[in-house]
Chain A
Amino acid sequence: MNALDQLQTPSDARPETPIMEIEHLRKLFPLRQINLFGPQRAVHAVEDSSFALYPGRATALVGESGSGKTTIARMLARLYDPTSGTILFQGKPVKLTRGAALRQYRRHVQLVFQDPFSSLNPVHSVEYHLSRPLRVYGHARNKREVTEQILTLLNRVSLTPAEQFIQKFPHQLSGGQRQRVAIARALAAQPEVLLADEPVSMLDVSIRLDILNLLLRLKQEEHLALLYITHDIASALYFAEETLVMYAGQMVEGGPSEEVIQRPKHPYTQLLLSAAPDPDRMDPNQRGLGTLPTRGEIPSLINPPTGCRFHPRCPYAMPVCRERFPERTDVGNGHWTHCFYYGDGGSNTEQPPLLNLAVPPTPRRKAGRTQEQPDYPEMKENE
């Protein structure tokens, strides 16, 4: 089955219950005190983030480096303790657990790291990497079962012939193959939730698609809940049903991917989209790349700007943006944003989208793809 069809089949539109709910999650990394009597300083990595993961659905978390997206994944994998907020797993809050309880939690929630070159131990074979989770989580009791399951796992991630890969060491594998081993290792625990932290950003462009399609297939087959962290907003549209945009630790926009990416509301999302490479924007009669609506970088999170952290770069900043962070405003179709421009809390579907940073200079389409309206079915709406 091909990946596109999977995306377009309305995957049981709205699954009953979320497997994981994250409420008001916050993370501060305390810094060493320079002045003993001075105020406690900290890196404000993640502020007040709430979202949910559903079985059989992928959620993309998009943002630049330093936006806190990896911190969220690591909190969900319980590598970091959140400063405040709750993580509900299957309706039950996850406590600050240690030992056996933590291991039990990690059986259900697995993390795939960004860099397959450093996430695999160079002195151990593929067999060892995959046998550890099988043994630790008690999925295999003896050597024969271990080997059997490893072969199945390798087949599931399309590392074939599996018999040849089982004895290989990481240095004998290419980047894409390593990432497949890393995914197989995560699957070995038989998780319900898979957190993928930029799983393809270290790989060649031609191999990325293979890995993404593999993850999509696994999501479908295993009914996995996927959190896909990326800085490539185009792949979020391709990969995930839902997209969340983060800026400097704050979640600024979210909703169905189609909505967020085709009709971006928050100025930062529009900036991200206008910066993404887009060959359709290419104009043979004109040189140059156009301009970006705004410059600058993510601010330091030790003393972040007050209020909405995007306001120093935002061309539409108002005085109120400096004072406090706006409440979540619904803009229809399950799409929400935190921006005073669209209101402050409640819902606002009437507001015409006046902000428009991301309009490309007359998109040029290929012959044969000229239809103005995309012909794929609308995504299922949330509400």
Chain B
Amino acid sequence: MADILVNGKQARTGSKTLLEVKHLSVDYLASSGVVHAVTDVSFTLERGEILGLAGESGCGKSTLAYAIARLLRPPALITEGEVLYHPRVRTDETGAPRVSTVSMPGKGPLARPGETEETIDIMTMSSSELRAFRWTELAIVFQSAMNALNPVMKIGTQIMDVLQAHRPEMGPDARKQRALELLKVVGIAPDRINSYPHELSGGMRQRAIIAIALALSPEIIIMDEPTTALDVVMQREILIEIMRLREEFDFSVIFITHDLSLLLELADKIAIMYAGRIVEQGTSFDLYEHPRHPYSYGLLHSFPTIRGPRRNVTGIPGSPPDLRAVPKGCAFHPRCPFAFAPCSSILPTLEPSNPQTPEQLVACHLYNTNLHPAGSPDEEEFAARYATLAERSKGR
């Protein structure tokens, strides 16, 4: 136990990186052809960070998240890549307490014996390692709270179920105690522990799901459109709750949504996906201030805002490509108002677009001075090009 504590201190002071996804590719082997759902995706997730994955339906964002959790089953196949997880070595009550109000007895380290660094490749884990990894280190909040809860089990039982499976040493009383604690943490009255899911409203159900995800104090929580089915007021309540819990328990979040307006307020970093690839990533502030990729610009201008001058909102004409036959070169070029010759033949790579914003990466030839010597477009040009595109699509 002693050396774990030492390691624990090292890990706590060590690197900030929690998860590194490197060149991840996922295919679905369909009878009508191979669907390249995720292609060559790389990003890093830092501790305590909220990373937003945004894109239209069918862009591979959910597949990517499930691949990270190794939840995909055939016909899905992870063809390439690694997901490196840098766990913080857990300490028990004698060590530095990790969480303030919720403490978890007996949370041991995950590192396998013989491994020098704490780094683990999730893609090479065996099924028993996966079982220990999932939910202890990485939890998922699924899209539809209605379907994710078992309708014939009380929500208290469903929380205790998780504890029973992962913390066999806990007694029934301790489990119940913990379940009550968790309900309180997410803002459900503890006397609801004996309620069935149908007795709760949509927002309460979503909170219950978050309580289950928090049960083992994971490091990463993947949230797959957690608020899409909820009303705006309830959605905001849940998001405020998530932000508060994150401050308190210091977990990282991968937040998947198609609603960019929401993500801008919530996330620290945003990755925008199109046809299975990340086309742009950066801090949400940079992305909002100066989107570089024409697709990001289109997404940002496809919702009206409440305040300020009425923006001309255009949307993006056309629809996302069929992933069985992704267009050659940049997959966005058939819909892109800026498309020029190299776009249909050369695949752009993620590069910093501007020396002033080295963290903002974009995969677009407009920023490649060799291919596009005219220089990168400014916001006015973006607006003008999209306006003519919208005009043309209407004129048909």
Q: Write out, one digit per residue, whether chain B residues 79-110 have a CB within 8 A of any chain A CB (1) or not (0).
A: 00000000000000000000000000000000
- Tell me the complex Cα distance, A267–B85, Å: 47
- Tell me the complex Cα distance, A204–B390, Å: 17
Task: Tell me if A279 and B261 are in contact (CB < 8 A).
Answer: yes
Task: Tell me if B308 and A365 are in contact (CB < 8 A).
Answer: yes
Task: Tell me if B285 and A284 are in contact (CB < 8 A).
Answer: yes
CB-CB under 8 A for A278 and B305, given A158-B396, A232-B232, A297-B234: yes
Task: Tell me if A217 and B394 are in contact (CB < 8 A).
Answer: yes
Chain A residues within 8 Å of B239, by CB: 289
B303 within 8 A of A: yes
Find B306's partner among A2, A233, A291 (CB 8 Å cutoff).
A233
Minimal beta-carbon separation of B171 from chain A (angstroms): 35
- Residue of B247, B305, B306 with most partner-chain A CB within 10 A: B306
Chain A residues within 8 Å of B391, by CB: 2
- Tell me the complex Cα distance, A367–B153, Å: 53
A271 within 8 A of B: yes
- Residue of A210, A291, A366 with most partner-chain B CB within 10 A: A210
- Tell me the complex Cα distance, A374–B233, Å: 27
CB-CB under 8 A for A234 and B284, given A208-B315, A289-B240, A289-B243: no
Residues of B230-288 whose CB lies within 8 A of A:
231-237, 239-240, 243-244, 247, 258-262, 264-266, 268, 283-285, 288
Q: Write out, one digit per residue, whether chain A residues 202-229 have a CB within 8 A of any chain B CB (1) or not (0).
A: 0011111110010001000000000000
Q: Write out, one digit per residue, whether chain B residues 290-325 have a CB within 8 A of any chain A CB (1) or not (0).
A: 000000001100111111111011111101000000
Task: Tell me if A275 and B201 are in contact (CB < 8 A).
Answer: no
Task: Tell me if A278 and B232 are in contact (CB < 8 A).
Answer: no
- Tell me the complex Cα distance, A376–B312, Å: 12
Tally A residues with Cβ within 8 Å of B.
Answer: 63
* Chain A, Cβ-Cβ closest to B289: A366
Chain B residues within 8 Å of A383, by CB: none
Task: Tell me if A279 and B236 are in contact (CB < 8 A).
Answer: no
Chain A residues within 8 Å of B310, by CB: 4, 7, 237-238, 374, 376
Chain A residues within 8 Å of B261, by CB: 205, 277-279
Residues of B306-356 whose CB lies within 8 A of A:
306-310, 312-317, 319
Find B307's partner among A177, A204, A363 (CB 8 Å cutoff).
A363
Chain A residues within 8 Å of B129, by CB: none
Residues of A134-190 whose CB lies within 8 A of B:
155, 158, 160, 174-177
A282 within 8 A of B: yes
* Chain B, Cβ-Cβ closest to A204: B56
Q: Write out, one digit per residue, whether chain A residues 261-301 have a CB within 8 A of any chain B CB (1) or not (0).
A: 11000000001111111111110100111111001010000
CB-CB under 8 A for A276 and B390, given A64-B232, A204-B258, A209-B313: no
Task: Tell me if A2 and B260 are in contact (CB < 8 A).
Answer: no
A86 within 8 A of B: no
- Tell me the complex Cα distance, A206–B319, Å: 9
- Tell me the complex Cα distance, A269–B144, Å: 27
CB-CB under 8 A for A371 and B309, given A210-B317, A289-B236: yes
- Residue of B203, B266, B315 with most partner-chain A CB within 10 A: B315
Task: Tell me if B396 and A234 are in contact (CB < 8 A).
Answer: no
Residues of A55-91 whose CB lies within 8 A of B:
64-65
B177 within 8 A of A: no
Minimal beta-carbon separation of A362 from chain B (angstroms): 12
Chain A residues within 8 Å of B121, by CB: none
Find A292's partner among B233, B284, B306 (CB 8 Å cutoff).
B233
Chain A residues within 8 Å of B396, by CB: 155, 158, 160
Task: Tell me if A174 and B319 are in contact (CB < 8 A).
Answer: yes
Find A282's partner among B237, B259, B285, B319 (CB 8 Å cutoff).
B285
Chain B residues within 8 Å of A288, by CB: 240, 243-244, 247
* Chain A, Cβ-Cβ closest to B317: A210
Task: Tell me if B304 and A275 are in contact (CB < 8 A).
Answer: no
CB-CB under 8 A for A205 and B258, given A234-B303, A279-B288: yes
Task: Tell me if B315 and A210 are in contact (CB < 8 A).
Answer: yes
- Tell me the complex Cα distance, A88–B233, Å: 34
Chain A residues within 8 Å of B244, by CB: 288
- Residue of B258, B307, B309, B396 with most partner-chain A CB within 10 A: B307
B195 within 8 A of A: no
Task: Tell me if B56 and A158 are in contact (CB < 8 A).
Answer: no
Task: Tell me if A276 and B306 are in contact (CB < 8 A).
Answer: yes
B379 within 8 A of A: yes
Chain B residues within 8 Å of A375, by CB: 309
Residues of A236-280 whose CB lies within 8 A of B:
237-239, 261-262, 271-280
Q: List 7 A-B contacts (CB under 8 A).
A: A2-B391, A205-B299, A234-B306, A261-B306, A278-B306, A279-B264, A360-B307
Name A residues whose Cβ lies closer than 8 Å to a Cβ of B.
2-4, 7, 64-65, 155, 158, 160, 174-177, 204-210, 213, 217, 231-235, 237-239, 261-262, 271-282, 284, 287-292, 295, 297, 360, 363, 365-366, 368-369, 371, 374-376
What would 12 more interface pairs be, CB under 8 Å, given A4-B312, A261-B306, A374-B309?
A205-B261, A206-B299, A206-B315, A206-B316, A209-B302, A235-B304, A273-B306, A275-B237, A276-B232, A279-B265, A289-B266, A297-B201
